[in-house]
Chains A and B, each alone.
Chain A
């Protein structure tokens, strides 16, 4: 495996880890439910997308043949994450949870 491929795989893996961590940080630190929904639904999707791309690059170069089955995970998560975020947001609206911009969310 050449230096450029190693650099690409390492950068993608690291970017994925950083995005996953930022999503979890948002989930832990943001003040109300609707903000907390952003972390898992956006940052983590990007993070796992980066990691799956890194896995694709690594196994394609290592085996010598293109390895595309990690695309399944990317496509599946990109399709399902907005749906589950929408369902959870609807449930939160239905329960009339405290909102930060109304001033009734505890910090």
Chain B
């Protein structure tokens, strides 16, 4: 039962990543692309956690945590750059 749920969830997260990728390529403005990258890293984090359950190892957890941290930093840097034209003044 867990195996089926995990396979369905992996497909759903893959679809979610494809939709974000579509928005990343299409996005009318650069802000849409920043939101799409934000979405992509959150989904990558979720996918790593689900894959960790499937592979029965806690190894993927550290990768998910690092992706969550670096993703926030990159989104903050992008937004800062869009707002001020510079990251560190």
Contact = CB atoms under 8 A, between A and B. Distances in A.
Contact of B5 (A13, A28, A72, A87): A13
B19 A48 contact: no
Interface in B13-33: 13, 15-17, 19-20, 22-23, 28-29, 31-32
B9 A13 contact: yes
A36 B35 contact: yes
Interface string B1-18: 110111011101101110
A94 interface: yes
A16 to B, nearest CB: 6
A39 B82 contact: no
Contacts of B13: 17, 20-21
B31 to A, nearest CB: 5
Contact of B53 (A9, A18, A36, A83): A9
B74 to A, nearest CB: 9
A95 B17 CA distance: 26
A14 B5 contact: yes
Nearest to A15: B9
A87 B79 contact: yes
Contacts of B68: 73, 76-77, 80
Contact of B6 (A13, A37, A48): A13
Interface of A: 6-7, 9-11, 13-14, 16-18, 20-21, 23-25, 27-28, 33, 36-37, 39-40, 44-45, 47-48, 51-52, 54-55, 58-59, 62, 67, 69-70, 72-73, 76-77, 80-81, 83-84, 87-88, 90-92, 94-95, 97, 106
